[in-house]
Amino acid sequence: MDILVENVSKTFVTKDGTVEALKHVTIDIPSGDIYGIIGMSGAGKSTLVRCMNYLEVPSEGRVLIAGRPLGSLTESELRAQRQDIGMIFQHFNLLMQKSVLENVCFPLYIQGKKKAEARAKAEELLEIVGLSEKKKAYPAQLSGGQKQRVAIARALASDPKILLCDEATSALDPQTTSSILELLKDINARFGITIVIITHQMAVVREICRHVAILKDGSVVEEGEVAEIFSHPKTDVAKELIRKDTGSDALALSGSSAKNAQAEIHSGNIIRIVYSENSAFEPVISNLVLTFGEPVNILKADTKNVGGVAKGEIILELMNGSQNAEAIKNYLRERNLAVEEAPYYGE
């Protein structure tokens, strides 16, 4: 199912005044997509995702699911529509006094399924998320990753067409996060479910999402394909999120080289280079130094997985006062590398 958020604003009235959580947000999420919504704390991400199933009713604008405006539905129609929209949360929201199997059965019981039918369905789902052997365990006996797998199985119980994930990996360690993201990718491929990922971590977005919207102060400041935004961020918010993206595959400089580079970080022009596995086959930096006859500082070098494609990122500091700065940038672009000014890496 596709989701259209059309000119949505959400205002809360509190004892301290009026808060504009969302300001004229428009995003179009295609059916079957894995779509990321990212921003710093307080950007309005969670409010936006709750508007997508009308747990929060927009103050202005519309939300359409498969072309059907949620605001036009009766209460009973809205409840029926929500069965197509599963949701998982950062803190799992499991019933601690119930077994894993009974947690997954719970929404099926609410739908009026008989116990045998509900249990059979729950066991199928636990097989999908890799937790069949834990069906008799209780949440307190599970790791964080296992709890989130139970939450995913429970969210899938009603055969949803959309899965909303609100900071679903924020409470998990990097290795567990990676396994949960792989599970979500598998679910998307297997069932064609539209998945919306709410997160403040660029590493999550580049690992799993095809498209992303970046929020700041309740507004969308940048959106598009993840690979394009990673290679050519336009806004300060996008650049800051990328700068803070320190994935487990980082190959940053260490030891005295890093210390020397950091000590000189403000002395010259800083640029960011992004390349894919097919964009360069020559030793570009070595050849650049030989061609222009001047040194460069490599401040950082990472290889990251962006939507299943290896993307390299190098932060270079050019020599202070270099007369070749523009020629160097053109030299790199001629070799199919994305190049941008990156003073924000010196902050």
pLDDT digits (tens, 9 = 90+) for 21-74: 999 999 999 999 999 999 988 899 999 999 999 999 999 999 999 999 999 999
Determine how β-strand 194-199 pairs with β-strand 34-38.
parallel
List the 270-276 sheet strands across, edge first. 296-306, 309-318, 270-276, 338-341
Side-chain-side CA neighbours of residue 241 (13 Å): 32
- Integer Cα distance of 150 and 190 in angstroms: 18
* CATH number for the domain running over 3-243: 3.40.50.300
Reading the block at residue 171, the tokens are 């409470």
Q: Identify the H or E element spanning 12.
A: strand 3-14
pTM: 0.81
pLDDT digits (tens, 9 = 90+) for 168-211: 888 788 888 889 999 999 999 999 999 999 998 888 999 899 99
Correct CATH for 255-346 of 3.40.50.2300, 3.30.70.260, 3.40.50.300, 3.90.1570.30: 3.30.70.260
Extents of the domains making up the chain = 3-243, 255-346
Q: What does DSSP assign to residue 34? A: E
Amino acid at 302: D
